[in-house]
Amino acid sequence: MFYRKKETAKVYSQTEIAPGIFDCLIETPAAKAARPGQFIGVYPKDASHLLARPISICDADKENSRLRIVYRVAGAGTGEFATYTAEDSVSILANLGNGFPVEEAEGKTVVIMGGGIGIPPMLGVSKAIKGDKHIFLGYRDCNNFLADEFLPHGNVYIATEDGSVGCKGNVMNALAATTIKPDMILACGPMPMLRAIKKYAEEQGITAYISLEERMACGVGACLGCVCKTTHKDEHSHVNNTRICTEGPVFDAREVEI
């Protein structure tokens, strides 16, 4: 089911789940068509901030038509969003981008990786994939937001930069401390993490799908403001670029240069 529409939605609830990290439920028909790994654009009400802020979909309650986003306050736009409470209206563009190919993961040993604010979209991915799943979550410190929610959906391994919880280091350090041999990796997180996953997957001959983050303007592929290098020639620009907002944000790691 394809759904992409700019609309005025309604905040169902919002809570701060860690310092500067907010968990928001939005009532919108877009929830019924959302796929794990897609994102939405959220428009500030302040007219001085014209562009929508891209925020990954954490999960979708299709039955009750609610999208869940979990985001970090990083500037004026997200700072405004953090003030919203139940019943507030919010202007969104949903659903954007292509999600993770969860169907390909069926019957395989799957490693799911999330780092920092790249963790929220991997919750929906973890729920969508059936079978043998190993979930690696990377945090700065002991503020392990959402970690408990992953527990029913796979074997969870935590890494923290300061060593306060789980393995000291990052998700790749945590994976190296196990004997797990994945057939497929699905990941979202900071660029150094994704580069390490891409390198590891290529060396081991493993299929890896990575979700890239980038500043965006239009969110629908018209402005070419969020391109990255790719092995394929883009039909729109006729060069070896791809648009993260439309062809992504999820890519086969072998097809992008990061």
pLDDT tens digits, 203-245: 999 999 999 875 655 555 555 555 666 666 656 666 666 666 6
pLDDT at residue 247 tops 80: no
pLDDT at residue 174 tops 90: yes
Third-level CATH fold of 212-258: Dihydroorotate dehydrogenase B (pyrk subunit); domain 3 (2.10.240)
Q: What is the pLDDT of residue 1?
A: 66
Question: pLDDT confidence of 151, banded at 50, 70, 90?
Answer: very high
Domain boundaries, given as residue ranges, for the chain: 5-96, 100-211, 212-258
Per-residue pLDDT averaged across 154-177, rounded?
Answer: 97
CATH 2.40.30.10 fits 5-96, yes or no: yes
Third-level CATH fold of 100-211: Rossmann fold (3.40.50)
pLDDT tens digit sequence for 8-61:
999 999 999 999 999 999 999 999 999 999 999 999 998 777 788 899 999 999
The edge-to-edge listing of strands for the beta sheet with 155-160 is: 167-168, 155-160, 133-139, 110-115, 184-188, 207-211, 250-252
Bridge pairing between strands 5-18 and 21-27: antiparallel
Question: Coil, strand or helix: which one is 195?
Answer: helix
Q: What is the pLDDT of residue 169?
A: 97
Q: Beta-strand (E) ranges in the chain?
A: 5-18, 21-27, 39-43, 53-61, 66-72, 89-96, 110-115, 133-139, 155-160, 167-168, 184-188, 207-211, 227-230, 241-243, 250-252, 256-257
| CA dist., res. 133 & res. 246, Å (int) | 28
| CA dist., res. 247 & res. 225, Å (int) | 13
